[in-house]
Structure 1
Amino acid sequence: MSTTKGLEGIVAAESKISSIINDQLTYVGYTIDDLAEHASFEEVVFLLWFKRLPNKNELAKFDEELFENMTISNAIVEHFKSYDIHNVHPMAALRTAISLLGLYDSEADDMSDEANNRKAIRLQAKVAAIVSAFSRIRDGKEVVQPKKGLSYAANFLYMLNGKEPIDLEVEAINKALVLHADHELNASTFTARVCVATLSDIYSGITSAISALKGPLHGGANEAVMNMLLEIGEVDNAIPYIKDKMANKEKIMGMGHRVYKTGDPRAKHLKKMSKELTARHGMEKWYEMSIKIEDYIKEEKGLPANVDFYSASVYHSLGIKHDLYTPIFAMSRFSGWIAHILEQYENNRLIRPRAEYVGPQNQVYVDINKR
């Protein structure tokens, strides 16, 4: 029996959702460059779930359904208020809140296609409300309800900050959501598929995916990048800091990617947004620092930046608290997780790999008095 550590290079499923071929990421055959430049996040969600782009009427109906479900019950709000919210990581709060949603959903165990599609809408809409509500409650502020006529990206920023965002800020969040929406069989997506392959419900699948994304080797990388930039402090400190890290063989977060050889195709879009947003808000040093680090590591190690590297300075320039970076990643990736869960249900087979045993053999039980 041959084994591959971390399942690297192993093809574990067939999918029509996204692909990574020759360092090009596509969603249902559309390149990420095409979608990042032209599509709204709502169009991308529809594309991932239904395997085609919506027409004008379909998109209007889809937008309306998302808006109508973009609120959370008082039970979730009171839940957030019931514990020491300042000592709870937002990803832990999100994980628990999604599980709670399943308790209050009368259709939670209805496995029909129609019910699952309705739950998909509710989940994608409510995650934006949950993340923003958690942040505001933690800051001692009132929860803000979504505003009709705003896009998904704009409404998230509106519910988070209590004021309508400018166009550049909406563009940045929309691009970030599009770029993070799906990424083939990454760790959290695979976790979701393994979970629902047992025919568990969609809330269980999403909760398990959130748990996987919470880890710093997956969703937490952009938060770690911003912490690094803050630790560096000034542009002139960047290279000495990185040299010291490399001398100590410490990992530089946000650089390189397991499945891309020539570079993450998503990074350039957030790099551009980082340049524009940091300039708009007088925070150019974070972009300049990032450029210096990327250029140096690319030259020394041949590792270009990945999508997490520039998303850090994008979110920071928007005034978003650093521990919300991963929940925003999750908010986007809900669309991909749901797409994969629905696809798994369509042609399900229990996912049950084997393990190669490498422990001791031929042991004989010894009475406890003789050990």
Structure 2
Amino acid sequence: MTDHVKSLSPAQAAPGLDDVIAAETGLCLVDGAVGRLVLRGYDLHALADWSFEAVLALLWQGLTPAEMTEAEIRHALGTARCRLFAKAEALLPATDDLSPVEALRLLLSSLADAERMPHHILAVAAAPVFAAAIARRRAGQAPVAPDATLGHAADFLRMLRGDLPGAAHVRALDTYLVTVADHGLNASTFTARVIASTRAGLISSVVGGLCALKGPLHGGAPGPVLDMLDAIGSEADIRPWITAALARGARLMGFGHRIYRVRDPRADVLKGVVGSLRADGTRIAFAEQVEAEALAQLAEKKPLRPPETNVEFYTALVLEALGFPRDSFTNVFAVGRMAGWTAHVLEQEAQGRLIRPQSRYVGPMPGHASAAG
């Protein structure tokens, strides 16, 4: 929770709901003032070496009918991935005219709320199966069937690339999925909780979360980071390109965050991941030069509150190095955020109260409307 909470009278409104507390949760604390992200009592940095399955066990603790260990979740997800593959194969032709995130929306929407498999397992297992199959079809390749014996991150990479990934790449993706697993009451998570509060069901709720993530102001930033690096082109052009961009008031992609007043803690975790992938090519070294120059010029231009590197900058570098096409980045993000969406939906369902905020009417009253006519 933030200490800067607005106390509103019924007649006041807070556009964007900035600093308005709309829920109490035991899942995630985002403290933008000091740059801290806490999941269930653990700082993000303490979770960076955990597997995605271990973080799922942490987030789901106390919210499901039966507690599951990391190993049990890994087994359940592997079984579910294999079960869901046939559905992906059958529906892929219907995605050809859709964007990748729209294709993922279609496939997730095909899951039944009446499905007997626990819905939190179903949703988390479906996301990488569908995302990998969508990416391969867009590349003109056949989908790759899951391997139930692999961990979630390893199988996701294998389904995407067609071969068994190396340990460094699996570790990098696992860390990325953990890093983006939950981030408080962001737009997509809030959407999922609102839907869950109507008792629509977990699948409907996470589909709604994905629809909110589709918006470019929420889930579309990593790809443009690579577009920026492409536009800069060479080391010699870094300084003049950034200078010209700031002079015309353009936003530098991958810098600044609406919540964090200091450095995004997720950026620090992913910077370590980027370091482990640097040997795979020169792009990362070039990006690090871009980052250093951007931070220097931003600090000079805005000395009182210079924008810091955010999670999207390093997300772009990590996912590109792992072989994900940039138009699939939002879907990969959804694979990780499915952890938070499912946990928040389960928590909201346990609370059992319909979310129904008030609005302030600013239109004409009946008497004024008739007089104007």
> What TM-score results when the alignment is normalised by the length of structure 1?
0.89
Structure 1 distance, partners of 2:69, 2:272, is 31
Q: Which residue of 2 aligns with 1:13?
A: 23
Contact kept in structure 1, 2:38 and 2:44, CA below 8 Å: yes
Q: How does 1:112-151 map to 2 (within 5 A)?
A: 118-151=118-151
* Distance in 1 between residues matched to 2:332 and 2:296, nearest whole Å: 27
Shift of 1:333: 0.3
Pair 1:78-2:83 in alignment: no
- The structural deviation recorded for 1:45 is 1.0
Please give the alpha-carbon distance, in whole angstroms, between the structure 2 residues aligned to 1:150 and 1:298.
Answer: 45
User: The residue matched to 1:266 in structure 2 has which SS?
Assistant: helix
Q: 1:363 to 1:120 in 2, by over 3 A?
A: same
SS at match of 1:124: helix
Counterparts of 1:248-259 in structure 2 under 5 Å?
Answer: 248-259=248-259
For the structure 1 residues 222 and 16, does the alpha-carbon distance in structure 2 shift closer, same or farther, using more than 3 Å as the test? same
| CA deviation profile, 1:126-148 (whole Å, cap 9, x unmatched) | 11100001111222222112224
SS at 1:354's partner residue? coil
**Which consecutive unaligned segments of at least 5 residues does structure 2 have?**
1-10
Aligned residue in 1 for 2:340:
336
Contact conserved, 1:25 with 1:31, CA < 8 A, in 2? yes
Distance 1:58 1:95 in 2: 29
Indicate conservation of the 8 Å contact 2:264/2:309, yes or no: yes
Q: Distance in 2 between matches of 1:199 and 1:82?
A: 29
CA distance in 1, matches of 2:268, 2:30: 17
Query: Matches of residues 1-371 of structure 1 in structure 2 within 5 Å?
Result: 1-21=11-31, 22-36=34-48, 38-50=49-61, 58-71=69-82, 72-83=84-95, 85=96, 87-102=97-112, 106-107=114-115, 118-283=118-283, 284-301=285-302, 302-361=306-365, 362-365=367-370
Alpha-carbon distance in 2 for matches of 1:246, 1:358: 38
CA offset digits 1:88-146 (Å, max 9, x no partner): 211111111111112xx643xxxxxxx6x811111101111000011112222221122
Out of 23-32 and 66-75, give the one that drifted further.
66-75
Q: CA deviation at 1:3?
A: 1.4
Cα offset, 1:359, TM superposition: 2.8
Secondary structure of the structure 1 residue equivalent to 2:37: strand
Q: Secondary structure at the match of 1:19?
A: strand
Q: CA deviation at 1:289?
A: 2.4
Deviation string 1:235-265 (CA, Å, 9 cap, x unpaired) is 3322322222222222222211122112111
Does the CA contact (< 8 Å) of 1:17 and 1:51 recur in 2? no
**1:145 is paired with a residue of what secondary structure?**
coil
CA distance in 2, matches of 1:272, 1:66: 27
Q: Secondary structure at the match of 2:106?
A: helix
Q: Indicate if the aligned counterparts of 1:255 and 1:304 stay in contact, CA closer than 8 A.
A: yes
The verdict on how the C-alpha distance between 1:327 and 1:7 changes in structure 2, with shifts beyond 3 A counting, is: same
Shift of 1:78: 2.9
Summarize the Cα distance change of 1:304–1:244 in structure 2 as closer, same or farther, 3 Å threshold.
same
Deviation at 1:162, TM superposition (A): 0.5
Q: In the TM superposition, what is the alpha-carbon distance from 1:73 to its structure 2 partner? A: 4.5
User: In structure 1, how many angstroms separate the alpha carbons of the residues matched to 2:220 and 2:146?
Assistant: 27
Identity of aligned residues (%): 36
Q: 1: distance between equivalents of 2:165 and 2:135? A: 17
Q: Cα–Cα, structure 1 residues 146 and 73, in superposed 2: closer, same or farther, change >3 Å?
A: closer
Q: Which letter does structure 2 place at the counterpart of 1:31?
A: D
Structure 2: distance between partners of 1:271 and 1:291? 13
SS of equivalent residue, structure 1 residue 20? strand
SS of residue in 1 equivalent to 2:324: coil
**Which 4+ residue blocks in structure 1 deviate beyond 6 angstroms?**
none
Distance 1:129 1:75 in 2: 10
Using the TM superposition, give the Cα deviation of residue 66 of structure 1 relative to its aligned residue in structure 2, in angstroms: 0.6
Cα distance in 1 for partners of 2:174, 2:54 equals 11
TM-score if structure 2 supplies the norm length? 0.88
Quote the Cα distance in structure 2 between the aligned partners of 1:220 and 1:132: 18
Matched length = 351
Structure 1 stretches of 5 or more lacking a match?
Answer: 108-114
CA contact (8 A) 1:189 1:336 kept: yes
Cα contact 2:255–2:310 (8 A) shared by 1: yes
